[in-house]
Amino acid sequence: MTLTVLAVDDSRTMRDLLRVALAPRGFDVHLATDGEDALEVLASIAPDVIITDINMPRLDGFGLIANLRAREHTRRTPIIVLTTESAPELRERARSAGATGWIVKPFDEAKLVAAVRRVAG
């Protein structure tokens, strides 16, 4: 079974790195540039896992997580935060908003793949 992943990051380099890490391992990877773009992409796909950055223009990761948890079709979709931030209060804020997991950049490809597979369960 192919897992569909939506990766949300305002950095083109990071989006490319996520695609390179996930696509060859059998994931169907969709990309979005920020939270607003992610909501538009979600009109046409139903991802098994969403990976999001925190610091993005228009709609940041916290706003995206809150928005996803308020929607019926994404209420239970696992969300992994992938960010350069490591402060415990930000991690707690993300978890309180509904994030499933937290990975600090730069990421280890094998660990990211394992985390995506684990939360997709």
pTM: 0.97
Instruction: Say whether pLDDT at 1 is over 90.
Output: no
Instruction: Say whether pLDDT at 121 is over 90.
Output: no
pLDDT classification of 116: cutoffs 50, 70, 90 = very high
Supply the DSSP string of 49-82, one letter for each residue.
EEEE-SS-SSS-HHHHHHHHHHSGGGTTS-EEEE
Specify the CATH superfamily of domain 4-120. Response regulator (3.40.50.2300)
* Span 40-54, pLDDT tens digits: 999 999 999 999 999
CB 67 within 8 A of CB 50: no
Spell out the domain ranges in the chain. 4-120
